[in-house]
A and B are shown apart, each in its own frame.
Chain A
């Protein structure tokens, strides 16, 4: 079973505050995770990633945390800005006997609204 789950369909945050987007997964063999941001009528834009050998990766205002024992990862955006309002997708490369494949399994996405 290889699933990536985002159980919160939406999140509303005040500008300047922290946004925390959560993602759970089912396959402990996933070795890489990615976050994509998507505006309406546009393609997913790569945001940040993390290898399973790490528990944190930071890039500017964006930090991804990985908790392997809980099969959980989260994306923190600090400080949140109105331009961050978009749908955020968590994704992981599909695994088979050949190892990690290129095709990604996506979560359903969380719609973030950052209010001025």
Chain B
């Protein structure tokens, strides 16, 4: 069964460093997302991406964050100058098309900022 894959599964980084989280969405999907879950809190929407541009973003997704689809398969989330409060599980997700409602999630990348 096709799945969303994410790397790394766990990353520890020092405060102020840049982090890139990588995702390979399901191959025929057109909509891509990043969500995060801070420990003990809700899963929160960060950003959606369609047709090589951001289609929606939340208040969390400020200038510290950026997304890119550098080639036909990878979808990346870059976090510049990480802060302690960026520590969370980051989930990549994808959806097949606009009419579909089901979003499929990856296993997550656990980011720890120290």
List A residues at the B interface (Cβ < 8 Å): 32, 34, 36, 41-46, 49, 89, 91, 93-94, 100-109
Q: How distant is A87 from chain B, measured CB to nearest CB, in Å?
A: 10
Q: Do A105 and B45 touch (CB < 8 A)?
A: yes
Measured in the bound complex, the distance between the Cα atoms of B44 and A44 in whole Å is 12
Q: How distant is A37 from chain B, measured CB to nearest CB, in Å?
A: 11
Q: List 19 A–B pairs whose Cβ atoms lie within 8 Å, in order of A's numbering.
A: A34-B102, A41-B107, A42-B108, A43-B4, A43-B6, A43-B105, A46-B102, A46-B103, A49-B102, A89-B43, A100-B101, A102-B48, A102-B101, A103-B45, A103-B56, A104-B35, A107-B42, A108-B42, A109-B42
Q: Is B91 an interface residue (CB 8 A)?
A: yes
Categorize the interface residue count of chain B.
Answer: 20 to 34
Name B34's closest neighbour in chain A (CB-CB).
A103
Inter-chain contact total with CB atoms closer than 8 Å: 64
Q: Say whether chain A's binding surface is mostly helix, strand, loop, or mixed.
A: strand
Contact partner, B107, options A42, A89, A107, Cβ 8 Å:
A42
Interface centre among A36, A91, A102, A104 (most CB of B within 10 A): A102
List B residues at the A interface (Cβ < 8 Å): 4, 6, 31, 33, 35, 41-45, 48, 55-56, 58, 89, 91, 93, 95, 98, 101-108, 110
